[in-house]
Structure 1
Amino acid sequence: MKHLAALNKYFWKYRFRLLAGLVFVVLSNYFSVLAPLITKYVVNKLMLLLSPGTTHAFHESVQDPLARVLINRIDRWNFSNVVALCGVTLLVLALLRGLFMFFMRQTIIVMSRHIEFDQKNEVYQHYQRLDTTFYRSHSTGDLMNRITEDVSRVRMFTGPAIMYLVNLLALIGLSVYYMLKDNVALTLYTLAPLPLLAVTIYFVNQLIHKKSERIQALLSDLTTNAQQSYSGIRVIKSFVQEKAMLAFFRNSSEEYKTNALGLAKVEAIYFPAMSFVVGISTLLTILIGGFMYIRDPQSMTFGTLTEFVLFINMLMFPVSAIGSVASMTQRAAASQKRLNEFLRLQPEIRDKPKATPKVIAGDLHFDHVSFTYSHTGIKALTDFDLHIRKGQKVAIIGRTGSGKTTVAQLLLRMFDPDQGAVKVDGTDIRDITLKSLREQISYVPQDVFLFSDTVRGNILFGNPVATMDQVRQAAKQAVVDGEIAGFAEGYDTMIGERGVTLSGGQKQRVSIARALIKDPRVIVMDDCLSAVDARTEREIIGQLYEYLQDKTAIIITHRIFSLFQFDQVVVLDDGHIIERGTHDSLLEAGGYYADLYARQRERDERPSEEEVTQEK
């Protein structure tokens, strides 16, 4: 239960619903236990008629005030009327019990749905707070499993498990109370098997808890495998690896099935064991109660024996539900343990206590920055020193793995440098709130991500309050407006998950439009033109050159944009700056940049296959 203690804050929040539900549980069970008392009276009345010499005051043994009032009223009537009135009374009691059971579910079960809603929101908000390092080390399937399966299993505890448990305690408490009032000795004999029940519950719960933890971990792996298969279905089909992926999934599924069946077998033994214990209690009641009646009819009436049998059978479902409640509780504890471990994680990148919002002008300074990725040990930057003045346009060029993207990640404070500092307008970005910093920087990532939404919705993601004219203007600046207009539904066209219906170049340009509509002071573009053709690239560069006139821009690329006048060109290799200067000065230096430029011109000037065919 220590893991489930984290739910106390929700129980306190919905305490009025919970308290009302508990009251309704007690009331519904109170009207339930009155039925055996009425039945006892009818049976004793019948026995009195069959044995007129018996003077035993059977109705004096009824202790409940409400039942005594009813019995005293009908005691003077003839037997037919008594049976009829008792039948009506039992019907009314059943209706009252059903009414309060309805109220019970409307309070406790509805409370559990509210808790589920709050808990999913808490998990989702925590996902958004966690930094990039966390997502690099956790699979999507595991993340999805926590917010769906784990939260759902916890809801089974906050709703049905609590409802059944309180119902069980209320019914047992009321039943045992009336049983002890009638006959203490018979009650003790009847309840004798309960210690055996308690021991069984204890040991079986240990097994259920261990198996539940294992099953939840396997379910996360299974979800991850499925998610990766869905996301990479085109790669799977292109490499004809359907059978291999199916076998991989089947192995994971088989392991999950084996463990789930193991848990089902434990539960299959559990529930019949509960019924067996209840059956023993019923047998003891009839056997011992019968001997008591035969030996001394004055101390044990036939009606009392009938009452005890009814109470034991009434307890059949609640006692049988002990197994179900224990199983739900153990599964919920295993899931809540996973959620607690997750919620205790704190992002490495978070606002410092004294961090404040700041309006950015656009002066950037990477002050002797060094950075190593903790999860791989790769040193991405070493003593990187770069000052970009307000309004300057800087190109960062280098081969794959040279550290270009890391520069963008550090500026957006996805990571903090190991040494040195990243400063904006002379202020260390760690002294600026994350929200304020990122609101004023637009970022076009290397790996374009589009949401399963319309084209307009994806562009508006950069500025949700923008007008349709601003959306079109951003699309024109990204040179994608014409192609969007050719879609069947224009800007209202659904583009599918991750933009699957668009080409690579279209996705990149929609992503650029999303960054431009934000109208930031600083814009970072990370190799965002790799999938567009040369003509479109020239159009985009022309549009960007005009758009970026008064903005600070960092263009990260592996190509050289000779048509774009950069204030600085920085060449990175293995995390070090090996060259820097203007386009012309670097060509004159004859180093890496000049060699890259020469090879690029040679490729660009080489005639395409289409041009060769036309010449022939």
Structure 2
Amino acid sequence: MFSIFKKLGWFFKLRWKSYAFGITALVTCAILSAMTPRIVGNMVDQLSAGSLTGQLLITQTGLILILAIIMYVLRYGWRTIIFGNSTLLESIMRNRLFSHFTKMDATFYHKYRTGDLMAHATNDLAALRFVAGGGILTLTDSISISVVTLFSMFVLIDWQLTLVTILPFPILIVVARVLGRIINKRFRKSLEAFSSLNDEVQENVSGMKVIKTFGEEEDYYQDFVAKTDQVVEMNRKVYQADAAYTPMIEIITGLTYVLTIFFGTYFIQNGRITVGDLIAYISYLSMMAWPLIAVGHLVNTLERGNASWDRVSELLNEQPAIVEADQAITTPIQGDIHFDVQKFAYPDDGRTKLSDTRFHLKEGNMLGVVGRTGSSKTTIFKLLMRDYDQYEGQITYDGKDIKDFSLNTLSSAIGYVPQTNFLFSNTILENIRFGNPNLSEEEVIHYAKVADIHEDIMKFPEGYQTEVGERGVSLSGGQKQRIAIARALAVDPEYLIMDDSLSAVDAQTEENILTNLRQERANKTTIIAAQRLSSVMHSEEIIVMDKGTIIERGKHNELVLEDGWYAHTYNQQQLQRKISEGGDSDGEI
């Protein structure tokens, strides 16, 4: 249970001065609070003996008031310091987590879902904050009050009465240890259930339009209710274990009071203690109630903290599958791409996604990648960006193995436009210059024109200052694609990869963008994956993928003459285009 303090030892060392002050203030409060019952007891004895004068009454009540003021100031101080430290711990850990997330690769995000990561960054860190704040407070306060109170009861009242009345206390220690283990186990399960619920919420909110389109609201609602009920049930089991402690405290406290009244009366009759002593003793006994209650809170807080720390540590101990070479190349990447992968399968998936896939792309040329849906076109791009390393074969840039380059150098050389375009909840201007924040507005406009989105942007009332909403919700699919293209172009990449990034634009817009790209990137390398063959017709080479391997390759004019997938698909698309346009089409852009 107390191992969490060792796990957080690095933080306590970092903030030891402030914690030392806070703990000192706590202990001082405990000592001062023990003086009040003794003063009250003396006043009772003086009143019984008829020796309590007006001057003594004013002096002693004034002393109680002064003690209360001092304790108020001290309590304000330690609460501010200790809870301030706990908030700092949460901030440090959240920064660590986010920094760790930015260093992890695709394998990590394949293993952990977004909702689970969000639960780590919220619930788990909140549990650690409670340890560094309420946990330290409860532990120090309960120990200091217990020690000071027991000392006062032993020394200032009567040691025999104290020994008799605290006999039931060890029972609580046994109960606390047993309940602590149960709470730890159940709290882990409740956190896992909450992570699953987080996943459900995020996925359903993101896909709400699809859910409503297909009329699946009720089914998804029932599924959500089931997961919510599971979280409630897991938390209920935690509270059941936690709740078992409070009745035990009441039983022990009640038994202690019975023993105190019985033996206290007996000691008064024997002249061992006075009535004032018994009143003071009962006051001390009431002070002991807080440490007894605090043990239950402390067990809950520490066990939750242990469970959360283990979960967060497991996450932070995850190492990226992509490891940078010891003497990685940091010079800018240029030159040809040589792709030779004999076999590749995604982690945790034994199915081969690429086999005997080879191509050589010369610097400044354009490569078209086409094929049926699920033919592993995107997989090629992921390997070109080094999202995964676990493949048989070699990928080189300018004759140098991709694994020899630093990760920053590689990412700086590649501009990527994915199938699913993600835009940040910011302005169009900031989204376009996301990868190159120093771009002027004129330069942003230039890249927007290349992506054929400038005119659309100027139709918005706020122009480039238009807020796009979460994930670009206020934009159409084609607008999001073109802003994503402009964003990739804005970093002026040596290699531009477009993964079916023209699927949501019309034929004329596609033609405009491709024409602009050929002019803008005349001497730079571009790779385009597409379902519409018109997007890749002017490529220096086209490869046709099927089931993870290349089944055709060549230029457009060569492939249309073969009796293969490319020719059949091209003829079909040309027929569809002719029908949609209501006339002939020669198929040229």
TM-score (norm 1): 0.90
When residues 352 and 47 of structure 1 are mapped into structure 2, their CA distance, relative to the original with a 3 A threshold, is farther
Matches within 5 A, 1:79-478: 79-182=53-156, 183-295=158-270, 297=271, 299-478=272-451
Alpha carbons 2:536, 2:542 under 8 Å: kept: no
Alpha carbons 1:369, 1:422 under 8 Å: kept: no
| CA–CA separation in structure 1 for the residues paired with 2:57 and 2:136 | 37
Alpha carbons 2:341, 2:354 under 8 Å: kept: no
Alpha carbons 1:446, 1:528 under 8 Å: kept: yes
Specify the alignment match of 1:61 in structure 2. none
Alpha carbons 1:292, 1:300 under 8 Å: kept: yes
Structure ID, larger Rg: 1
Q: What is the deviation of 1:609?
A: 7.2
| CA–CA separation in structure 2 for the residues paired with 1:358 and 1:79 | 91
346-355 vs 456-465, which deviates more?
346-355
Residues 123-146 of structure 1, C-alpha deviations (whole Å, 9 max, x = no match): 122222222122223322212111
Residues 134-186 of structure 1, C-alpha deviations (whole Å, 9 max, x = no match): 22233222121111111112211111121111000011111112222232211
Q: Residue 591 in 1 paired to residue 547 in 2?
A: no
SS of the equivalent of 1:144 reads helix
SS of the equivalent of 2:422 reads coil
519-528 vs 592-601, which deviates more?
592-601
| CA–CA separation in structure 2 for the residues paired with 1:392 and 1:608 | 32
Q: Which runs of 5+ in 2 are unaligned?
A: 585-589
Aligned length: 582
584-593 vs 219-228, which deviates more?
584-593
| CA–CA separation in structure 2 for the residues paired with 1:5 and 1:307 | 38
SS of the equivalent of 1:561 reads helix
Q: What is the deviation of 1:562?
A: 7.0
Alpha carbons 2:183, 2:241 under 8 Å: kept: yes
| CA–CA separation in structure 2 for the residues paired with 1:25 and 1:508 | 60
Alpha carbons 1:3, 1:340 under 8 Å: kept: no
Q: Which runs of 5+ in 1 are unaligned?
A: 51-77, 612-616
Q: What is the deviation of 1:369?
A: 4.4
When residues 383 and 145 of structure 1 are mapped into structure 2, their CA distance, relative to the original with a 3 A threshold, is same
Specify the alignment match of 2:573 in structure 1. 600
Alpha carbons 1:373, 1:380 under 8 Å: kept: yes
Specify the alignment match of 2:10 in structure 1. 9
Q: What is the deviation of 1:6?
A: 2.9
| CA–CA separation in structure 2 for the residues paired with 1:576 and 1:488 | 48
Specify the alignment match of 2:587 in structure 1. none
Alpha carbons 1:451, 1:458 under 8 Å: kept: yes
- The one-letter code sitting in structure 2 at the alignment partner of 1:569 is I
When residues 171 and 469 of structure 1 are mapped into structure 2, their CA distance, relative to the original with a 3 A threshold, is same
| CA–CA separation in structure 2 for the residues paired with 1:526 and 1:369 | 22
Specify the alignment match of 2:27 in structure 1. 26
SS of the equivalent of 1:315 reads helix
Alpha carbons 1:282, 1:313 under 8 Å: kept: no
| CA–CA separation in structure 1 for the residues paired with 2:181 and 2:435 | 51
Alpha carbons 1:29, 1:171 under 8 Å: kept: yes
When residues 16 and 369 of structure 1 are mapped into structure 2, their CA distance, relative to the original with a 3 A threshold, is farther
- The one-letter code sitting in structure 2 at the alignment partner of 1:148 is T
Q: What is the deviation of 1:599?
A: 2.3
- For the aligned residue pairs, the C-alpha RMSD in angstroms reads 2.0
SS of the equivalent of 1:377 reads coil
Q: What is the deviation of 1:500?
A: 1.5
Q: What is the deviation of 1:441?
A: 0.8
When residues 368 and 260 of structure 1 are mapped into structure 2, their CA distance, relative to the original with a 3 A threshold, is closer
- The one-letter code sitting in structure 1 at the alignment partner of 2:462 is E
448-457 vs 543-552, which deviates more?
448-457
When residues 417 and 255 of structure 1 are mapped into structure 2, their CA distance, relative to the original with a 3 A threshold, is closer
When residues 562 and 335 of structure 1 are mapped into structure 2, their CA distance, relative to the original with a 3 A threshold, is closer
SS of the equivalent of 1:379 reads coil
Specify the alignment match of 1:555 in structure 2. 528
Alpha carbons 1:392, 1:553 under 8 Å: kept: yes
| CA–CA separation in structure 1 for the residues paired with 2:329 and 2:76 | 52
| CA–CA separation in structure 2 for the residues paired with 1:556 and 1:597 | 15
350-359 vs 175-184, which deviates more?
350-359
Q: What is the deviation of 1:588?
A: 4.0
- The one-letter code sitting in structure 1 at the alignment partner of 2:184 is H
Residues 189-248 of structure 1, C-alpha deviations (whole Å, 9 max, x = no match): 121111111112122222222221121111112222221211111111111111111111
Q: What is the deviation of 1:417?
A: 4.1
565-574 vs 391-400, which deviates more?
565-574
Task: Give the % identical residues.
Answer: 33
| CA–CA separation in structure 1 for the residues paired with 2:224 and 2:38 | 59
| CA–CA separation in structure 1 for the residues paired with 2:224 and 2:533 | 44
Residues 521-577 of structure 1, C-alpha deviations (whole Å, 9 max, x = no match): 111111100111101110111111111112111111222237863222222222222
| CA–CA separation in structure 1 for the residues paired with 2:571 and 2:4 | 64
Q: What is the deviation of 1:606?
A: 2.2
Matches within 5 A, 1:569-584: 569-584=542-557
Specify the alignment match of 2:462 in structure 1. 489
| CA–CA separation in structure 1 for the residues paired with 2:221 and 2:491 | 44
| CA–CA separation in structure 2 for the residues paired with 1:160 and 1:582 | 70
- The one-letter code sitting in structure 1 at the alignment partner of 2:485 is I
Residues 359-387 of structure 1, C-alpha deviations (whole Å, 9 max, x = no match): 11132111344211123323121122222
Alpha carbons 1:275, 1:316 under 8 Å: kept: no
| CA–CA separation in structure 1 for the residues paired with 2:560 and 2:499 | 23
